[in-house]
Amino acid sequence: MKVLIAEDDLSSRKFLYKFLSQYGECDLVVDGLEALDAFLISLKEHQPYDLICLDIMMPKVDGVKVLKHIKDLETQKGIIPEKRSKIIMTTALAETQIVQNAFEIGCDAYAAKPIDTTKFIEVLKKLGLIE
Amino acid sequence: MGLRILDRKEQLTLTAIEIIDELGIQNLTTRQIAKRQEISEATLFRHFKNKKELLASVLDYFVQFDADILHSTKLHNLTPTQALVYLISSYAEYYENYPAISSILQIYNFLLYEEELADKMKEIQNNRTSAIQQMIEEAKLAGEISGNVDSNMVAVMITGFFREICFNWKTSNYEFSLSDRLLKTLELLLNALHD
């Protein structure tokens, strides 16, 4: 599995990296612009991410806007739904309007911080990313 | 590469924040923003009719998470003082990871003399102060702090030290942890207000 972790907070970033590295190769970025760069490179190299974890309150471009751009790019490139990256939003916010917006745009799941690994594994299984 | 797929207005807003952080609000010019974006000033003015409109967009960007942070304090079922800690730590963490955005806190005095922007800035300040004041009121009712304190004065103290500590953090070249300093100061104040 190829994973992109977009997370500005160092401790959360380290935690997700350590946790998700057991399931595959992880790339790390610290803001929304870098996340878009990494996504565009993955498309260019024909090596898309299976999973993208997007923090919502990220510097420069927030996670929800990044999500919107990813979805738009996937549509523009004609990527079929089954081949699209699964996207999990991560945030310390509760289920507020911005989280609802993320679901309306098409994120696959939402993980509240601090992340509960048992629940996270369940979500990965549900999304068909791990068995 | 990623910057290019954002809409131009957003790119210009982010560039304005970057310049305010690096050079100060007094040195922010439309010419410089256009230059960094590698576009003409005429193109910039197709998106923002003047610098004031661009600064209004910067202020909108600056407060984009305010409603969600505040709403989260309610949804998390926290005690009033825990909610206050959550509120301050949410901003602290965001600013710590995006230092340039904290520079917008320091442009209030400059905007005070720009008619429409002053109103917008006052509204932001009032909304933030009122939210904190409400939490202080709730903390008084819950017996977490003394019932005798003036909640508006305490809210002003909190917004004041928040801005001052952010300023010190920037001028020290970010050499201390903003979260730690803000939360310790808040703790000190809340302890002093306890019966």
| Distance from the A122 Cα atom to the nearest Cα atom in chain B, whole angstroms | 23
Nearest CA in chain A to B93: A9
- CATH number of domain containing A113: 3.40.50.2300
- Residue B6: pLDDT band (50, 70, 90) is confident
Measure the CA–CA gap between A103 and A98, rounded to whole angstroms.
Answer: 9
The answer to whether residue A78 is domain-embedded is: yes
Question: Collapsing DSSP states into helix, strand and coil, what is residue A3?
Answer: strand
Q: What is the pLDDT of residue B4?
A: 76
Nearest CA in chain A to B13: A60
Measure the CA–CA gap between B81 and A51, rounded to whole angstroms.
Answer: 37
Q: For residue B94, give the nearest of A57, A73, A94 by CB distance.
A: A57
Backbone angles phi, psi at B98, to 5 degrees: -140, 70
Measure the CA–CA gap between B88 and A82, rounded to whole angstroms.
Answer: 41
> For B106-117, what is each residue's pLDDT tens digit?
998 889 888 889
| Distance from the B20 Cα atom to the nearest Cα atom in chain A, whole angstroms | 14
The answer to whether residue A117 is domain-embedded is: yes
Beta-strand pair A2-6/A51-55: parallel
- Residue B46: pLDDT band (50, 70, 90) is very high
Q: Where are the alpha helices (DSSP H) in B142-177?
A: 151-171
The answer to whether residue A131 is domain-embedded is: no
Total domain count, chain A: 1
The answer to whether residue A76 is domain-embedded is: yes
Interface ipTM: 0.91
A50-68 average pLDDT score: 97
The yes-or-no verdict on residue B168 having pLDDT over 70 is yes
Measure the CA–CA gap between A22 and A87, rounded to whole angstroms.
Answer: 18
The yes-or-no verdict on residue B2 having pLDDT over 70 is no
Return all residues near A38 (Cβ < 8 A) that are at least 6 apart: A4, A6, A27, A29, A49
> For B184-194, what is each residue's pLDDT tens digit?
999 999 999 98
Give the DSSP letter of residue B106.
G
Quote the domain boundaries for residue A61: 2-126
The answer to whether residue A51 is domain-embedded is: yes
| Whether this model's pTM surpasses 0.90 | yes
| pLDDT over 90 percentage in chain A | 98
The answer to whether residue A91 is domain-embedded is: yes
